[in-house]
């Protein structure tokens, strides 16, 4: 991968994180910025799992393991300055192998669903592994979330960590040897987390990468997110069939329960959405500025209980809003807390689901002479009210 991309990320984090043009960036000053490493477990195949904790010295810290390049913990301060973990997950490694519904993981080679696991490129047909009958979900049976990644500490101050791996030609049915990296970085000027993705291939393929963190801004395991106020910068969404595959239509959200253009409680119209189970699991078409590869506001989430606010900015064309419908109280997570239905929200910045089978969707094709790049920025603040 290109070194200048890492250098530009370092420069941006060191200078100002993200200029989100908000009134304030409430933070907690204190400790020293840096990166620490600890053992977290061993996979069934004998690979060592390590946990890397990035701390910006201002109240924001993120712990990421090399299995799935997965966010295990994300601590941010509440309105009283008390730091708390806002992502679902497990205290130990073992459950991540068998129980995790992609908690905090990098999903790929193709995030989200591909209908019946089939697509064609340049006249050649491909069949992927089916792991969400009748479709392929988040890369297949052994996707990026179930792989050991190579980790590299790029910088201590600002704290920056880079994961990389090679997805071999034919892995889960995808063509081409794909060299991929994911970089996590924290700003030391404000409470900003940046996740950057890069990929290159030696054969034409499809790529769609995202992080699948489950957020509860009241604190992980603290009730549901139904009272969280959500804003999505999207005037349209992609309707789905009963297997959650897009129909191909791009529909307006106006006068529907899908409309989050102004702040609305997640639970206010949830029962109108339908589905089995009931809830949101839909791709939103982001209102993008004309300038290419520019991060613009995608989402805002506010917890009235904790006062935490999360802004998400991205250069991707879509964001998948998932309201935790399939959580059912059978998972016991961190601190022994049980995760009931709607106990978290996932907001996955991405290309649209099943794009390889819809010519009217933005293309996810990557060719050998090209490079996939994407950046998503999370800004954490607090409100007093």
Nearest to 296 by CA among 274, 319, 271: 319
The active-site residue, picked from 138, 200, 212, 282, is 212
Q: Let me know if 156 is a catalytic residue.
A: no
Catalytic residue among 348, 351, 358, 381: 348
Contact 260, 335 (CB under 8 A): no
Contact by Cβ (8 Å): 260, 234 = yes
What residues contact 82, with CB distance under 8 A and at least 6 apart? none
Q: Which helix (H) or strand (E) holds 95?
A: helix 94-98
Coil vs helix vs strand at 77: strand
Output the CA–CA distances (angstroms, integers) from residue 85 to 59, 133, 191, 308, in the order listed: 11, 33, 14, 12
Active site residue 358: no
Token pair 């500490």 is at which residue? Answer: 153
* Whole-number Å distance between alpha carbons of 275 and 258: 13
Burial category of 102 from C-beta neighbours within 10 Å (exposed 0-12, middle 13-18, buried 19 and up): buried
Supply the residues annotated as catalytic.
212, 348
């Amino acid at each position: 991968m290109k070194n200048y991309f890492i250098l530009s990320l370092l420069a941006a984090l060191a200078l100002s994180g993200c200029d989100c043009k908000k009134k304030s960036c409430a933070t907690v000053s204190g400790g020293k910025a840096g990166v620490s490493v600890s053992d977290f477990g061993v996979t069934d195949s004998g690979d060592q799992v390590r946990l890397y904790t990035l701390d910006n010295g201002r109240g924001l810290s993120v712990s990421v393991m090399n299995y799935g390049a997965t966010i295990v913990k994300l601590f941010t301060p509440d309105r009283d300055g008390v730091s708390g973990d806002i992502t679902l997950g497990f205290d130990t490694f073992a459950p991540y192998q068998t129980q995790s519904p992609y908690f905090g993981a990098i999903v790929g080679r193709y995030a989200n669903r591909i209908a019946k696991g089939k697509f064609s490129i340049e006249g050649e047909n491909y069949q992927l592994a089916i792991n969400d009958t009748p479709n392929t979900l988040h890369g297949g049976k052994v996707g990026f979330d179930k792989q050991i990644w190579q980790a590299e500490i790029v910088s201590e101050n600002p704290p920056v960590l880079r994961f990389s791996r090679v997805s071999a030609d034919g892995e889960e049915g995808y063509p081409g040897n794909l060299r991929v990296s994911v970089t996590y970085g924290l700003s030391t000027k404000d409470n900003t987390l940046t996740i950057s993705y890069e990929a290159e291939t030696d054969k034409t393929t499809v790529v769609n990468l995202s992080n699948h963190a489950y957020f509860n801004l009241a604190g992980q395991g603290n009730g549901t997110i139904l009272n969280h106020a959500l804003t999505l910068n999207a005037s349209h969404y992609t309707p789905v069939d009963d297997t959650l595959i897009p129909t191909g239509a791009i529909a307006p959200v106006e006068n529907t329960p899908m409309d989050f253009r102004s702040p609305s409680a997640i639970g206010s119209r949830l029962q109108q959405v339908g589905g089995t189970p009931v809830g949101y699991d839909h791709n939103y078409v982001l209102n993008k500025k004309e300038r290419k590869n520019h991060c613009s506001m995608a989402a805002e989430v506010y917890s009235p209980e904790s006062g935490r606010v999360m802004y998400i900015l991205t250069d991707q064309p879509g964001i998948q809003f998932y309201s935790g419908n399939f959580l059912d109280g059978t998972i016991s997570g961190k601190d022994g807390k049980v995760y009931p239905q709607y106990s978290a929200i996932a907001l996955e910045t991405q290309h649209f689901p099943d794009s390889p089978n819809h010519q009217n969707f933005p293309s996810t094709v990557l060719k050998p002479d090209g490079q996939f790049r994407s950046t998503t920025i999370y800004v954490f603040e607090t409100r007093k009210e």
